[in-house]
Amino acid sequence: MLSSPTFADKTGYFPDRSIDSVFYQLNQGLWLIQGKLGEERFRRFMEMSNQMRAYFEADPENKKDDTLKGRDLIAEMEGLLKQSSRKT
């Protein structure tokens, strides 16, 4: 969340990290737990991921509210994932 909206690594430890790599990892992680989430929740998380990426891409310089909207979706997704893990 801290490196949004571009997700570029400023430390130099992960020079290949980008918005593409971060969302690839997120979506692959969601695919891995799809069975635990159930189809409806999985679809919702993928929609959230797509919307989140769209917000970040619309505000690459973090000058509009789109980055904040994307960060809010991260927090919402995190909360829903925690809630899902308690139920299983």
26-44 confidence digits (pLDDT tens): 999 999 999 999 999 999 9
One-letter identity of residue 58: A
Percent of the chain at pLDDT exceeding 70: 98
Cα–Cα nearest to 57, from 18, 2, 26? 18
Question: What integer pLDDT is reported at residue 88 of this predicted model?
Answer: 58
Alpha helices in the chain (DSSP H): 19-32, 34-37, 39-58, 66-87
Mean predicted confidence (pLDDT) in 5-10: 90
CA distances from 2 to 20, 33, 34, 39, 42 (A): 16, 24, 26, 30, 25
17-28 confidence digits (pLDDT tens): 999 999 999 999
Question: What integer pLDDT is reported at residue 3 of this predicted model?
Answer: 85
Question: What integer pLDDT is reported at residue 86 of this predicted model?
Answer: 74
Question: What integer pLDDT is reported at residue 34 of this predicted model?
Answer: 95
Contact of 29 with 41, CB cutoff 8 Å: no
Question: What integer pLDDT is reported at residue 81 of this predicted model?
Answer: 87
